[in-house]
Amino acid sequence: MVKLTLSPFEMEIARKRLGREPNEAEWATIDALWSEHCSYKSSKVYLRSFPSSGERVVMGIEDWQDAGALDVGDGWAIVLKLESHNHPSAIDPFNGSATGVGGIIRDIISKGAIPIALLDMIRVGNLNRERNRWLLKNIIRGIGFYGNSIGVPVVGGELSFDDTYDDNPLVDVAGIGVVRKDKIVPSVVKQAGLKIVIVGLTGLDGLGGASFASRKLSGENEIGAVQIADPFAGKIVLDVTLSIADKVEAIKDLGGGGLVVGVTEMANGFGAVVDLDRVPLRVSDLTPEEILISETQERMLFAVKEERVKEICAEFEYYEYPCAEIGYFTDDSVIRFRYRGKEIVNLPSELLVSPPLFMWEVRKHKRPSIERPKIDIEEAIRKVVSHPDFVSKEWAYSQFDYEVGTSTVIKPGEADAAVIALPNGKLLAVKGDANPDLCENDAYECGKYIVAEAYRNLATVGAKGIGIVDHLQFGDPRKPEVYYTFVEALRGIAEAAKFFNTPVVGGKVSFYNENKEGKAIKPTPLVVMAGLVEDKLLRGSIEEDLSIVMLGLARDEMRGTFLSKLYGNFGETPKVRLNEDLVASELVVQGINRGKILFAKDIGRGGLVSALFSILVRGYGVDIRSNGIKADIGDDLLVKLFSESTGRFIVLTKEPEWFLENKKGVIASVIGKVTKSSGVLKIDDKSLELSKEIDNYYNYFFRVIEND
């Protein structure tokens, strides 16, 4: 018996709409299509507020399209997709993360696009716990195993740590592909009569994965819901799918919900007849319900004209890869599955794709603010720069082949954004950002903040954002405080996306990120922004005696900052002033294009201290004058050093006067110089020698993980 996640209320709605009691196979079908993972039943109403159109949008947020697409000029488009494999990675981190990569790649190729890059954004609990070290080690192994084997570079990402992720790690993977605009393949059919062709073997792994992802982790043994990764089969699927993309009418990855979801979504309102006996199986004794909802990897669906079925299958069979015609699309809007001559599912398409939509109760939960504690500046500096969030991630990305395919221009760890060469000669910059500490305090401001930060990150390499994909990760939406943060974060993302003219072309919602005691993760919305280098690319270089110019104003808004994470939740929450982010970013890009900037970094988590530390770890020192740091609170050094107010950068230049003369509404000030005193942070007359912290920066993970 398949484990259902449908509520009694939903089951009664299904009975009334259908006018009868569904059988076991039909309940499994409804459960998969109505799962939170596939239906967005608790989020769809609010997702409609996202800006999803624009001059560069080729394919936006459309029903059942597997990925979004943006015009990058000269007849080319990039395809973007962002997904997570959180629950599977909590159970089996190696296969959970590896299959997350595989699923993203198949989403990209389903549009006829060539995958050119991956980004991974990973969040786990405190590494003092053995289980978290085990999770992280195997998550990284899984991502590297699949990406390296299939030949798609991992060019960037995030690696962050917080107790909130102890039992529920977040493993987000973004994929980028390129395709000629006129060669994009739809994921849905536009006519009846087309044949349904499946490739790959169906097994027991990944059984009920969509339902598994739509409930909290129970602590029970749910290893059967985790798919098993096979990148070598995935490579066959990738190569052959791209070779036949212009010979088929639609392509769909068989992901969440398995065959029932894939067929129903591809039908797009049409009907379908599928014979389960024709589905190639890995094991012979699968029940029909298991065949319906299995999420075995490396499988695809193709809608094919009858005369081309043999030709398509011959391409796969050349590599001894299973391929079979299993049914056809009809014009009666009924989804039918047959098994051994008997019809076991007969459900209206309208019923399956129209789940009840929910708008749950919302209630604001204000976290108490404490009085500002006494904080020793030197201690705070050392604590922040030593935290694993800010150390080098070389241990992780050294396990990834980030240069395969020869399109990687800026490698992981070299700048605030990764840069990839496109077939038309243009350069694409990409960056993912989240800020759960701020989201826990003010989800609306956080939604704006992460979009603004991604926009600033792209500016540091000379790029302007053109579009985003998002992933909204929260606890149980039925809890008013959780649902409130979801609604507010979405509102902030939508507002910022409209402001920067970076439409949302795709995304995902992941609810029920809770441990077995029902404690939710910190709200963790994430965006990945893509942009184009407008003129000149800044790789970044540092030399002695360069002037350090700060753009923007440090504000006394310390709540939700990294410093308050370490010392207690004090002060006011940062207010995101989007116009300041825009004009400062434009000034940075202009400075890069005119050759005035040698190195640029946005000021985000960790404040000015974290930004300056990026100079120290490159073998230099800095000499800062605190009276040059512009702030709204006078001479408060703590605020000047650790504020995370937005719209700010540091730039290294030989011509600081250019910024003072061309700031155009941006607050600009010279705050110091780069020195040859390696590892020394000098603030006014006090020098801090940070050689131990720099050693920790380069060796933290090798010591903590490899010596475990």
Q: Is residue 387 annotated as part of the catalytic site, yes or no? A: no
The answer to whether 585 is annotated as binding is no
Q: Which of 37, 365, 387, 471 is catalytic?
A: 37
Q: Which of 85, 365, 387, 471 is catalytic?
A: 85
DSSP 8-state assignment for residue 153: -
Other CB atoms closer than 10 Å to residue 698's CB: what's the count? 13
DSSP per-residue letters across 392-441 = --HHHHTTS--STTS-EEE-TTSSSSEEEE-TTS-EEEEEEEE-HHHHHH
Cβ neighbourhood burial of 163 (10 Å; 0-12, 13-18, 19+):
exposed
The answer to whether 85 is annotated as binding is yes
Q: Facing residues of 29 across strands? A: none
Q: Using an 8 Å Cβ cutoff, are 447 and 490 in contact?
A: yes
DSSP 3-state of 76? strand
The answer to whether 84 is annotated as binding is yes
User: For residue 245, what are its two tokens?
Assistant: 């993309």
Q: In 81-227, where does DSSP find H-type helix? A: 86-91, 93-109, 130-150, 209-212
Q: Using an 8 Å Cβ cutoff, are 150 and 230 in contact?
A: no
Contacts (Cβ under 8 Å, ≥6 apart) of 629: 550, 554, 608, 640, 641, 669, 671
Query: Residue written as tokens 């770890």?
Result: 617
Nearest Cα neighbor of 594 from 507, 655, 525 is 655
Helix axes 607-616, 691-704, angle to 10 degrees: 90
Q: Using an 8 Å Cβ cutoff, are 176 and 420 in contact?
A: yes
Other CB atoms closer than 10 Å to residue 217's CB: what's the count? 19
Q: Is residue 85 annotated as part of the catalytic site, yes or no? A: yes
Q: In 479-542, where does DSSP find H-type helix? A: 480-500
The answer to whether 40 is annotated as binding is yes
The answer to whether 87 is annotated as binding is yes
Q: Give CA–CA dist 180/314, Å, rounded.
A: 26
The answer to whether 277 is annotated as binding is no
Query: Residue written as tokens 């056809």?
Result: 328
Q: Is the dihedral of CA 327, 332, 336, 340 positive or negative?
A: negative
The answer to whether 83 is annotated as binding is yes
Q: Is the dihedral of CA 321, 325, 331, 335 positive or negative?
A: negative
The answer to whether 81 is annotated as binding is yes
Question: Could you tell me which residues are annotated as the binding site?
Answer: 40, 81, 83-87, 106-107, 227, 253, 470, 507, 510
Question: Which residues fall in the annotated binding site for substrate?
Answer: 84-87, 106, 227, 510
Active site residues per annotation: 37, 85
- Known binding-site positions for Mg(2+): 83, 107, 253
Q: Which residues are annotated as a binding site for ATP?
A: 40, 81, 470, 507
